[in-house]
């Protein structure tokens, strides 16, 4: 083992940017249907938006406060910002080069045209003119920006900057620090109420014009009898790395509402401008926003490409999208019987979205209606806008059941929705806990307490993903539905500890952060290390979204040095460097980006042949280990173990959509070797779940069961 205490790490921000590049690579791939490529491009832009608001915003606050401590990779905050700027500049160039050279022409070939007013015919011009006069002109108001005055513009909204020439009479009223005495500046905020683009009459299948192009085309209507010198679109990203100090906040719900308001006025961390901007105008805008040139990104195309996401799902274009993959039903859950009866016979493990999320919703829905159910307890972190789960909780409360919901108000960017759900559930009579002071409740757990002939039974759901029926269709996650007495008892202790303001007890099977999860993981790695040192087989095979925690990474390096074979599937950030002599020669890291967002957390330890398999809500990050309420749950059923280890093995066989992290910190796409079979893991999962369901259906005899009246014998 190396004697020095310093371990090699990749900077987490730069690692995240490389993940976003892998997302962008899907948009670049010509083998992918064009609307899917458009979607991946939109996702890469949306990802960057959040990255600047949160990660860059946090680094800028560190610099402003004089914080100089380097991260584990050795980079201080200012050096990280410089490295981010260099990497993002290249990424933005790649995004817009792809947009102009490939996405737009390919969309055109498929009948979807992206147009501007100068390219429209008379009929189309008449349509946008009517739209401008009836909706735009009446809704928008230009705001003068003289001297030090500049409007407070909302975060992530489009704005049109306009420079106009003024006459001598107006000239005398201008302040000296305007661009020129004969010019003035105004901003037209587009706001959020107008559509991002409008569709115009066309002989093509679809033709659209962006709202900012329409505004600039008719900008003279806002400035009659004045000459427009320059106009361009710009967009601000503000710092959203703001937190409520819930140790002192009197009313957490009201404090969270205040935080949402603060986000609209936070410091600007990024300025995006279109490439039509003139240098004088850009200098003037940057000065008014107190931004350096490093904070300004020029985009050779429409800003906010993330707004194009709805186009990717437009009706009538199925031929240029992925084939639809219908989720399969679990053949072990008979839809004609109560889910409680099914789970009384055996545990159920579901692999979403290849298998339907309906059983999770069904558990709550049946519990809401079942007279024998006494109580429902659930954690909620992110939910869908029209949530059947929330509806089930409402119905359960209305029927007199004891409903307790731990609803995390501090779930970033979902605060507003969670505040709404919290108020509604409280009004319905549920017991709503807003989470714990100083911690985010990120665990995914449901407990249903039911009275049965043999006594009280506890039915549980533990998952790796949120209780969100919509994201369950596009995120890969694992669900465990079980009646296991020990897990039920652990779930009861878990909820009671949180709602009762008590110290968490020692659990029978689960591990919880921040009290015991880190120790359990470190102990499991230590066991593999000890077995390897004794010359026995030792291996660790894990799947997660991020690997950042320096203590766990150091422990994995020690295990590798002892001879433990370690395979890690890490979707996003990975600060561990594999393949380094004397450190990580026995560690392999792969990342996978495909049609579904990889989100499951599955951990497998060889454990001397007594395989230990877990699912978890937590990634291997310091925040998950120390600052969040998380759960890691063992899978003990032999069939369940086999199912999850098979899933892990398939991921590591993927040579179509997988990237491998090399010792130089760069990712290389895997491709089949000559004569090697191509393995596309997500496609294999879809095929296998469909085949399994069909095979079970063939083995199940058809039985005709008549509906009888109550008078029938």
Q: Supply the residues annotated as catalytic.
A: 442
The Cβ-side half-sphere exposure at 126, using a 13 Å CA radius, reads 5
Write the Ramachandran bin of 180: left for phi over 0, alpha for psi from -120 to 50, otherwise beta.
beta
Q: What is the distance between the alpha carbons of residues 387 and 365, in angstroms, rounded to a whole number?
A: 12
User: CA nearest 653: which of 633, 626, 682, 674?
Assistant: 682
H/E stretch holding 401 reads none
- The residues facing 378 across adjacent strands are 405, 446
Residue 545's contacts (CB-CB under 8 Å, 6 or more residues apart) are: 570, 571, 572, 573, 598, 599, 601, 619
Residue 111's contacts (CB-CB under 8 Å, 6 or more residues apart) are: 204, 205, 206, 317
User: CA nearest 652: which of 602, 612, 691, 693?
Assistant: 602
Cβ–Cβ < 8 Å for 214, 131: yes
Q: What is the distance between the alpha carbons of residues 548 and 512, in angstroms, rounded to a whole number?
A: 19
Buried b (16+ CB within 10 A) or exposed e, 164-203: bebeeeeeeebeeebbeebbbbbbbbbeeebebbbebebe
User: CA nearest 560: which of 529, 531, 589?
Assistant: 529
With 0-12 / 13-18 / 19 or more C-beta atoms within 10 angstroms meaning exposed / middle / buried, residue 404 is buried
Residue 125's contacts (CB-CB under 8 Å, 6 or more residues apart) are: 117
- The residues facing 476 across adjacent strands are 598
Q: What is the distance between the alpha carbons of residues 62 and 84, in angstroms, rounded to a whole number?
A: 15
H helices of 563-680, where?
A: 622-626, 638-653
Residue 204's alpha-carbon distances to 426, 483, 522, 545, 648, in angstroms, are: 51, 57, 60, 42, 46
The Cβ-side half-sphere exposure at 55, using a 13 Å CA radius, reads 18
- The residues facing 297 across adjacent strands are 272
């Amino acid at each position: 083992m190396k004697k020095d205490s310093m371990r090699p790490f990749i900077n987490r921000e730069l690692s995240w940017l490389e993940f976003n590049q892998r997302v962008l690579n899907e948009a670049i791939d010509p083998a992918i249907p064009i609307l899917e490529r458009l979607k991946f491009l939109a996702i890469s832009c949306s990802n960057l938006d959040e990255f600047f608001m949160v990660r860059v915003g946090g680094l800028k606050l560190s610099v402003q406060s004089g914080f100089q401590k380097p991260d584990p990779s050795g980079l201080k905050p200012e050096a990280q910002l410089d490295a981010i700027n260099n990497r993002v500049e290249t990424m933005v160039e790649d995004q817009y080069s792809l947009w102009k050279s490939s996405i737009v022409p390919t969309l055109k070939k498929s009948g979807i045209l992206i147009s501007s007013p100068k390219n429209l015919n008379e009929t189309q011009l008449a349509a946008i003119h009517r739209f401008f006069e009836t909706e735009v002109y009446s809704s928008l108001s230009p705001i003068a920006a003289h001297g030090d005055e500049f409007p407070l513009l909302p975060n992530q909204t489009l704005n049109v900057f306009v420079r106009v020439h003024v006459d001598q009479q107006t000239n005398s009223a201008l302040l000296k620090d305007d661009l020129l005495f004969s010019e003035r500046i105004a901003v037209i905020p587009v706001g959020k109420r107008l559509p991002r683009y409008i569709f115009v009459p066309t002989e093509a299948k679809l033709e659209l014009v962006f709202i900012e192009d329409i505004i600039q085309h008719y900008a003279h209507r806002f400035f009659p009898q004045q000459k427009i010198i320059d106009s361009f679109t710009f967009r601000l990203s503000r710092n959203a790395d703001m937190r409520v100090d819930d140790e002192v906040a009197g009313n957490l719900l009201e404090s969270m509402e205040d935080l949402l308001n603060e986000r609209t006025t936070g410091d600007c961390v990024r300025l995006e401008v279109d490439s039509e901007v003139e240098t004088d105008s850009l200098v003037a805008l940057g000065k008014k926003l107190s931004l350096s040139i490093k904070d300004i990104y020029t985009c050779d195309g429409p800003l906010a490409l993330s707004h194009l996401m709805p186009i990717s799902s437009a009706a009538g274009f199925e031929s240029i999208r992925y084939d639809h993959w219908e989720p399969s039903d679990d053949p072990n859950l008979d839809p004609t019987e109560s889910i409680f009866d099914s789970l009384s016979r055996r545990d159920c493990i579901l692999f979403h979205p290849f298998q339907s999320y309906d059983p999770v919703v069904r558990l709550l829905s049946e519990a809401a209606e079942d007279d024998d159910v006494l109580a429902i307890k659930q954690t909620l972190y992110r939910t869908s806008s029209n949530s059947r789960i929330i509806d089930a909780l409402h119905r359960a409360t209305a029927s007199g059941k004891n409903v307790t919901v731990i609803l995390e108000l501090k779930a970033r960017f979902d605060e507003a929705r969670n505040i709404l759900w919290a108020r509604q559930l409280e009004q319905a009579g549920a017991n709503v806990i807003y989470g714990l002071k100083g911690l985010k409740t990120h665990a995914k757990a449901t407990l249903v307490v039911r009275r049965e002939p043999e006594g009280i039974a506890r039915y549980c759901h533990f998952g790796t993903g949120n209780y969100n029926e919509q994201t369950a269709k596009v995120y890969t996650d694992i669900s465990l539905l079980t009646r296991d007495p020990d897990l039920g008892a652990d779930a009861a202790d878990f909820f009671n500890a949180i709602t009762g303001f008590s110290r968490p007890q020692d659990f029978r099977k689960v591990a919880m952060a921040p009290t015991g999860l880190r120790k359990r993981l470190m102990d499991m790695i230590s066991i593999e290390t000890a077995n390897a040192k004794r010359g026995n087989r030792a291996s660790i095979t894990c799947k997660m979204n991020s690997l950042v925690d320096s203590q766990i990474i150091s422990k994995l390096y020690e295990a590798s040095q002892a001879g433990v074979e370690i395979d890690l599937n890490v979707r996003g950030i990975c600060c561990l460097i594999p393949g380094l002599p004397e450190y990580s020669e026995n560690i392999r890291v792969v990342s996978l980006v495909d049609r579904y967002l990889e989100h499951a957390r599955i951990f497998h330890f060889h454990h001397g042949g007594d395989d230990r398999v877990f699912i978890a809500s937590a990634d291997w990050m310091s925040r998950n280990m120390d600052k969040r309420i998380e759960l890691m749950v063992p899978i003990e059923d032999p069939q369940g173990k086999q199912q999850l280890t098979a899933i892990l093995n398939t991921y590591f066989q993927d040579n179509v959509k997988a990237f491998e992290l090399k010792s130089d910190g760069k990712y290389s796409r895997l491709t089949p070797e000559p004569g090697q079979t191509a393995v596309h893991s997500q496609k294999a999962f879809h095929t296998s779940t469909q085949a399994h369901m069909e095979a079970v259906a063939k083995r199940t005899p058809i039985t005709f069961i008549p509906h009888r009246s109550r008078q029938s014998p």
